[in-house]
Amino acid sequence: MRLWALRGLRTQRDLTGFPRTLELAPGMTPGRPVDGPAAAADVCPTGALRAEGAATVVALDHCVHCQRCRHGGQPMHWREDIAWSHGEGAPLPRAFAHSIHVRVLDAGDCGACLAELQQLPAPQYSLHRLGIFITASPREADVLLVVGPVTRAMRQPLLDTYAAMPGPKRVVAVGACAASGGVFGPSFACAGGVADMLPVDRVVPGCPPPPLAVLEALLAVMGRSLPRAEDAP
Amino acid sequence: MNTLAELLHALECDAAVPAAIESGAVLALPLPAARLPHAAHVLARSQAHLAGIVCEQRNGSFALRYPFWLPRGLPWLELVIDVAPGGTVPSISPRLFAADWHEREIEDLFGLIFSNHPFLGNFVLHDEVWPEQAFPMRHDFAFTDADGAPSPYQPQQMLQAEGAFLMPVGPVYGGVSEAGQFLLDTLGEEITHCQTRLFYKYRGIEKRAEGMVAADALLLVERMNGTNAFAHALAAAQAIERACDCSVPARAQTLRSFWAELERLRSHAATIAGLCKSTALAVPTSLAYQRVEELLRLSGRHAGHRYLFGLIAAGGLAFDLDDAAARELAAQAQAVARRLADLAEELLFDNSFIDRLEEVGVIDAKVARRYGLVGPVGRAAGHVSDLRREQPYAAYAECTPRVAQAAEGDNLARLRVFLDEAAESARLLPLLATQLPAGTVRGTCATRAGAGLGWTEAPAGASTCFARLDADGRIARLRLMPPAFANWHAYHLAAERFAFQDFPITLASFGLSMAEQDR
Ligand code: SF4
Ligand code: SF4
Residues A162, A143: Cα–Cα separation, whole Å: 9
Q: Can you tell me which atom of ligand 1 is nearest the CA of A67?
A: 1
Ligand number nearest to the C-alpha of A74: 1
Asked whether the bond before B171 is cis by omega within 30 degrees of 0, the reply is yes
Q: In what order do the strands lie in the sheet with B165-169?
A: B165-169, B181-186, B191-197
Confidence class of residue A224 from pLDDT cuts 50, 70 and 90?
confident
Confidence class of residue A233 from pLDDT cuts 50, 70 and 90?
very low
Phi, psi of B3 (to 5 degrees): -105, 160
Other beta carbons within 10 angstroms of residue B473's beta carbon come to: 18
Looking at residue B20, its pLDDT comes to 67
To the nearest whole number, what is the mean pLDDT of chain B? 91
**B229 to each of A66, B209, B237, B379, B392, how far by Cα in Å?**
12, 16, 12, 22, 19
Task: Judge contact between A49 and A58, C-beta under 8 A.
Answer: yes
Candidate from A12-21, A25-34, A84-93, B80-89 with smallest mean pLDDT: A12-21
Q: Which of B349, B431, B421, B420 is nearest to B398 (CA)?
A: B431
Give the CATH number of domain B4-147; options: 3.90.1150.10, 1.10.10.10, 3.40.50.10420, 3.30.460.80: 3.30.460.80
Angle at B182 between CA A159 and CA B411, to 5 degrees: 135
Kindly list the residues from chain A whose CB atom is less than 8 angstroms away from the CB atom of residue B215. 45
Q: What percent of chain A has pLDDT over 70?
A: 96
The mean pLDDT value for A40-46 works out to: 91
Domains of chain B: which residue ranges? 4-147, 165-197, 205-510
The mean pLDDT value for A26-52 works out to: 92
Please spell the DSSP secondary structure of B423-465, one letter per residue: HHHHHHHHHHHHTPPSS-SB------SEEEEEEEEETTEEEEE
Distance (Å) from the C-alpha of residue B39 to the closest C-alpha of chain A?
36
Nearest-by-CA chain A residue for B518: A108
Which positions 173-202 of A are in contact with B (Cβ < 8 Å)?
Answer: 182-185, 187-190
Confidence class of residue B5 from pLDDT cuts 50, 70 and 90?
confident
Distance (Å) from the C-alpha of residue B388 to the closest C-alpha of chain A?
24
**B153 to each of A29, B127, B128, B132, how far by Cα in Å?**
42, 7, 6, 13
Residues B308, B185: Cα–Cα separation, whole Å: 40
Residues B463, B457: Cα–Cα separation, whole Å: 6
Residues A232, A80: Cα–Cα separation, whole Å: 11
The mean pLDDT value for B33-45 works out to: 92
Residues B41, B32: Cα–Cα separation, whole Å: 15
Q: Which of A121, A178, A115 is nearest to B305 (CA)?
A: A115
Q: Which of B238, B251, B257, B261 is nearest to B315 (CA)?
A: B238
**Radius of gyration over alpha carbons of chain A, in Å?**
18
Which positions 37-66 of A are in contact with B (Cβ < 8 Å)?
Answer: 45, 64-66
Q: Residue B500 pLDDT > 90, yes or no?
A: no
Neighbouring-strand partners of residue B113: B88
Residues A5, A118: Cα–Cα separation, whole Å: 21
Which positions 120-149 of A are in contact with B (Cβ < 8 Å)?
Answer: 121-125, 134-138, 148-149
Residues B347, B131: Cα–Cα separation, whole Å: 50
* Interface check A212 vs B, CB under 8 A: no
Q: Which of B201, B179, B267, B243 is nearest to B445 (CA)?
A: B243
User: Cα of A35 to ligand 1 centre, how many Å?
Assistant: 11
Task: Judge contact between B315 and B445, C-beta under 8 A.
Answer: yes
Q: Which of B298, B299, B289 is nearest to B269 (CA)?
A: B289
- Tell me the angle at which helices B282-303 and B323-348 cross, rounded to the nearest 10 degrees: 170
User: Cα of B222 to ligand 2 centre, how many Å?
Assistant: 10
Residues A49, A59: Cα–Cα separation, whole Å: 6
Task: Judge contact between B422 and B268, C-beta under 8 A.
Answer: yes
Q: Residue A226 pLDDT > 90, yes or no?
A: no
Task: Judge contact between B291 and B340, C-beta under 8 A.
Answer: yes
Which positions 156-175 of B are in contact with A (Cβ < 8 Å)?
Answer: 171-175
Q: In what order do the strands lie in the sheet with B475-481?
A: B450-458, B461-469, B475-481
Instruction: Please state the ipTM of this predicted complex.
Output: 0.94
Compute the count of residue pairs across chains A and B with CB atoms less than 8 Å apart: 217
Pairing between β-strand A100-106 and β-strand A132-134 as defined by DSSP bridges: parallel
Domains of chain A as residue ranges with CATH: 32-79 (no CATH), 94-224 (3.40.50.12280)
Confidence class of residue B145 from pLDDT cuts 50, 70 and 90?
low
Confidence class of residue B186 from pLDDT cuts 50, 70 and 90?
confident
Where is pLDDT greater, at B15 or B277?
Answer: B277
Neighbouring-strand partners of residue A79: A32
User: Cα of A40 to ligand 1 centre, how many Å?
Assistant: 10
Position B105, amino acid: E
Task: Judge contact between A228 and A112, C-beta under 8 A.
Answer: no
Task: Judge contact between B493 and B370, C-beta under 8 A.
Answer: no
Q: Can you tell me which atom of ligand 2 is nearest the CA of A175?
A: 1
Asked whether the beta carbons of residue B136 and residue A27 sit closer than 8 angstroms, the reply is no
**Radius of gyration over alpha carbons of chain B, in Å?**
22
Candidate from B186-190, B212-216, B244-248, B342-346 with smallest mean pLDDT: B186-190
To the nearest whole number, what is the mean pLDDT of chain A? 90
Candidate from A3-7, A148-152, B339-343, B381-385 with smallest mean pLDDT: A3-7
Looking at residue A14, its pLDDT comes to 83
Task: Judge contact between B518 and B200, C-beta under 8 A.
Answer: yes
Neighbouring-strand partners of residue B195: B183
Candidate from A189-203, B115-129, B176-190 with smallest mean pLDDT: B115-129
Position B323, amino acid: D
User: Cα of A40 to ligand 2 centre, how many Å?
Assistant: 23
Where is pLDDT greater, at A171 or B177?
Answer: A171
Task: Judge contact between B326 and B433, C-beta under 8 A.
Answer: yes
Phi, psi of B50 (to 5 degrees): -70, 125
Task: Judge contact between B115 and B88, C-beta under 8 A.
Answer: yes
Residues A62, B351: Cα–Cα separation, whole Å: 49
Confidence class of residue B192 from pLDDT cuts 50, 70 and 90?
confident
* Interface check B292 vs A, CB under 8 A: yes
The mean pLDDT value for B431-450 works out to: 92
Q: pLDDT per residue over B103-118, tens digit each?
A: 999 998 998 888 877 6
Q: CATH assignment of B205-510?
A: 1.10.645.10
Task: Judge contact between A193 and A178, C-beta under 8 A.
Answer: yes
Chain centroid to Cα A197, Å, comes to 18
- 3-state class (DSSP) for residue B18: coil
- Tell me the angle at which helices B411-434 and B250-278 cross, rounded to the nearest 10 degrees: 150
Looking at residue B144, its pLDDT comes to 66
Kindly list the residues from chain B whose CB atom is less than 8 angstroms away from the CB atom of residue A214. none
Residues B17, B21: Cα–Cα separation, whole Å: 9
Q: Residue A231, class by beta-carbon neighbours within 10 Å (0-12 exposed, 13-18 middle, 19+ buried)?
A: exposed
Nearest-by-CA chain B residue for A14: B290
Q: Which of A145, A148, A149, A192 is nearest to A170 (CA)?
A: A145
Q: Residue B269 pLDDT > 50, yes or no?
A: yes
Q: pTM (2 decimals)? A: 0.94
Asked whether the beta carbons of residue A154 and residue B349 sit closer than 8 angstroms, the reply is no
Ligand number nearest to the C-alpha of A71: 1
Looking at residue B119, its pLDDT comes to 63
